[in-house]
Amino acid sequence: MKTGKVAVMSGPNRPFEVREYPLLPVPEGMARMKLLASGVCGTDLHIMRGKLAVGFPACIGHEFIGKVEDIHEADSAKYGINVGDNVIVDIAVPCGECILCKEGNDANCVNMGVTNGGRPEVAPHFYGGFSDYNYTSVKNLVKLPEELDPLMVGVFACPGPTAIHAVRLGIKAGLDPAGVNVAVVQGAGPVGCFATAYLAALGIKEILVICGGANDRRSLLAKQLGATELLDFTAQSMDDIVKYVQSKNGGLGADLVFEASGNPKAVPQGMDMLRNRGMYLVPGQYSQSGGIEIQPQMITFKALSIIGSSQYSMVDVHEYVKFLSEHTELHNPIKGLASCYKVEDINKAFEDAGAGKNIKTVIVPE
Ligand SMILES: [Zn+2]
Ligand SMILES: [Zn+2]
């Protein structure tokens, strides 16, 4: 019987163990995919460092892109996904029953499940991102157009939908991209870089990106993706950067600030940069990184809108794929960010990702 490798994590700060399991027939409702590209996300590093709890042993990784190898006919007919299709797995399994799901906020379902929660020793064994194969519910698959390179799609597989969802919630709360003269993106990591590209595509003319080093690869990428100016906090003080942003927009400050740095200190700075009635999108604070003093009167006096956003929905993954299809000019710069490793080299991949050597670490087939 054919087999495949799974990188199994037995606990935080322990090396992965690469196991081999047989490829079983696909259960009804699921598809079996062969690995094409599977990114290592910041969340995976948090799990490795013990900052986010999951059940062990586990095959983590939630950015799996694969080619469908096996699927039941009825599921093909129902979801329009066939053997040979390239697909991206959406990790989120909302319950569909709670108030959040029913009101259309399934990204924040209170009973949220995940596709990679299965134990590797339990058949069909392949649930997570860091393995040669993956079995996932067909309803969690989004088909990729054939012309999209799976490795390129893999670079922003999770940061892309994350940024898109934050903007979606902003628009739901009254954000009108056409009315934004000046936007600020805090942080030039994967979420910040994708947010820059997305805001530029929405027609926002002036996008200032706050970064640590104007010549590092991420900052240069932000520029390629649509940043009009890089504000480097290693070259000038944050106070000066805040004052500079406040001088923009006829002295009003930014219309929109997008937090993608993950640094708690960025939050009061973001509030400071906004104009009256400005909007602050905050998807970036995705770990417990400590508290920070804020001036709550600013929320009142400036009448700010502060919009949090975590997770994303199928609709955001579809939007991500559509965005990439429409912006072919971005494909080469995006693809160039991937550093590739095989499943059996998972420990080296995590070592390099943890040391900040790569912009995007991606697991690829042998
Ligand atoms: Zn992720
Ligand atoms: Zn729910």
Cα of 327 vs centre of ligand 1, distance in Å, is: 22
Q: Which domain holds residue 183?
A: 161-308
Q: What is the pLDDT of residues 230-273, one digit of tens each?
A: 999 999 999 999 999 999 999 999 999 999 999 999 999 999 99
Cα–Cα dist 365/296, whole Å: 50
Give the Cα separation of 276 and 260 in Å (integer): 21
Per-residue model confidence (pLDDT) at position 362: 97
Instruction: Decide the pairing of beta strands 113-114 and 17-22.
Output: unpaired
Kindly state whether residues 168 and 139 are assigned to the same domain. Answer: no
- Cβ–Cβ < 8 Å for 261, 186: yes
Centre of ligand 1 to C-alpha 162, Å, is: 8
The rounded Å distance from CA 97 to ligand 2 centre is: 5
Which one of the ligands is nearest to 112 CA?
2
Which ligand has the minimum distance to the alpha carbon of residue 110? 2
What is the 47 CA–ligand 1 centroid distance (Å)?
11
Q: Is 182 found in the same domain as 96?
A: no
CB 71, CB 139: distance < 8 Å: no
- Ligand index nearest the alpha carbon of residue 43: 1
Q: Are residues 169 and 215 in the same domain?
A: yes
Res 305: pLDDT: 98
Q: What is the pLDDT of residue 144?
A: 98
Query: How far does residue 314's CA lie from ligand 2's centre (Å)?
Result: 14
Query: How far does residue 243's CA lie from ligand 1's centre (Å)?
Result: 33
- Going from the Cα of 316 to the center of ligand 1, the distance in angstroms, rounded, reads 14
Task: Indicate which ligand has the atom closest to the C-alpha of 62.
Answer: 1
Residue 152 lies in a domain: no
CA of 55 to the centre of ligand 2 (A): 21
Q: Is residue 77 part of a domain?
A: yes
Give the distance (Å) from ligand 2 centre to CA of residue 99. Answer: 7
Q: Show Cβ contacts of residue 113 under 8 Å, excluding neighbours closer than 6 positions.
A: 92, 93, 94, 95
Number of domains in the chain: 2
- Please tell me the distance between residue 89's alpha carbon and the centre of ligand 1 in angstroms: 12
- What CATH number does the domain containing 131 carry? 3.90.180.10
Ligand approaching nearest to the C-alpha of 287: 1
C-alpha distances (whole Å) from 135 to each of 41, 49, 67, 128, 329 are: 20, 26, 11, 8, 33
The answer to whether residue 278 sits within a structural domain is yes
Could you tell me if 226 and 91 lie in one domain?
no
Low-confidence stretches of the chain (pLDDT < 50) are none
**Cα-to-centroid distance, 112 and ligand 2 (Å):** 6
Q: How much is the pLDDT for 258?
A: 98
Among the listed residues 162, 157, 1, 159, the one whose alpha carbon sits nearest the alpha carbon of residue 66: 157
What is the Cα–Cα distance from 154 to 97, expressed in whole angstroms? 31
> Which-ligand-closest: CA of 108?
2
Q: Is 147 helix (H, G, I), strand (E, B) or coil?
A: coil
Note whether residue 326 is domain-resident.
no
**Tens digit of pLDDT for each residue in 325-360?**
999 999 999 998 999 999 999 999 999 999 988 989
Q: How far is the CA of 44 from the centre of ligand 1 (A)?
A: 7
Q: Read off the pTM.
A: 0.95
In a domain? residue 229: yes
Token pair belonging to 27: 């259960």
Q: Is residue 187 part of a domain?
A: yes
**Longest Cα pair distance anywhere in the chain, in angstroms?**
69
Mark out the alpha helices in the chain (DSSP H runs). Answer: 42-48, 73-79, 99-102, 150-155, 159-172, 190-201, 217-225, 238-251, 266-273, 297-301, 314-326, 331-335, 346-354
Distance 259 CA to ligand 2 centre (A): 26
CATH number of the domain enclosing 269: 3.40.50.720
Give the number of whichever ligand sits closest to the CA of residue 100.
2
Same domain, 137 and 7: yes
9 Cα–ligand 1 center, Å: 17
Q: What is the predicted pLDDT for the residue at 288?
A: 78
Three-state secondary structure call for residue 341:
strand
The confidence score (pLDDT) of residue 196 equals: 97
216 and 288 both lie in a single domain: yes
The pLDDT, as a whole number, for residue 307 is: 98
Is residue 293 domain-shared with residue 347, that is, in the same domain?
A: no
Q: Which residues lie closer than 8 Å to 62 by C-beta, 6 or more apart?
A: 41, 43, 44, 89, 91, 114, 115, 116, 128, 129, 158
Q: Which of 307, 320, 321, 267 is nearest to 166 (CA)?
A: 307
Give the up-direction half-sphere exposure of residue 10: CA atoms within 13 A in the CB hemisphere: 6
Q: Which of 308, 323, 346 is the last residue of a domain?
A: 308
The Å distance, Cα 172 to ligand 2 centre, comes to 19
pLDDT of residue 315: 97
Distance, CA of 180 to CA of 289 (rounded, Å)? 30
Ligand closest to 45 (CA) is: 1
Residue 233: how many other CB atoms lie within 10 Å: 18
Residue 66 lies in a domain: yes
The dihedral through the CA atoms of 63, 337, 66, 18 has a sign that is negative
Q: Which two tokens stand for residue 126?
A: 């392949």
| Statement to judge: residues 25 and 112 lie in one domain | yes
DSSP category for residue 248: H
Ligand having the closest approach to the CA of 111 = 2
Q: Are residues 9 and 133 in the same domain?
A: yes
Contacts of residue 240, Cβ cutoff 8 Å, sequence gap at least 6: none
**206: which 2 tokens?**
């002036």
Q: How far is the CA of 319 from the centre of ligand 2 (A)?
A: 22
What count of residues does the chain have? Answer: 366
Q: Find where tokens 């947010």 sit.
A: 195
Choosing from 291, 308, 325, the residue where a domain stops is: 308
Domain check: are 7 and 124 in the same one?
A: yes
Torsion of CA 192, 194, 197, 203, to 10 degrees: -80
Ligand closest in space to the Cα of 61: 1
Domain termination residue (choose one: 271, 292, 308): 308
Contact 256, 180 (CB under 8 A): yes
Residues 37 and 88 in one domain: yes
Q: Do 257 and 343 reside in the same domain of the chain?
A: no
The SS3 of residue 114 is strand
Concatenate the DSSP letters of all residues of 43-72 into one string: HHHHHHTTSS---SSB-----EEEEEEEE-
- Determine the distance separating the centroid of ligand 1 and the alpha carbon of 232, expressed in angstroms: 26
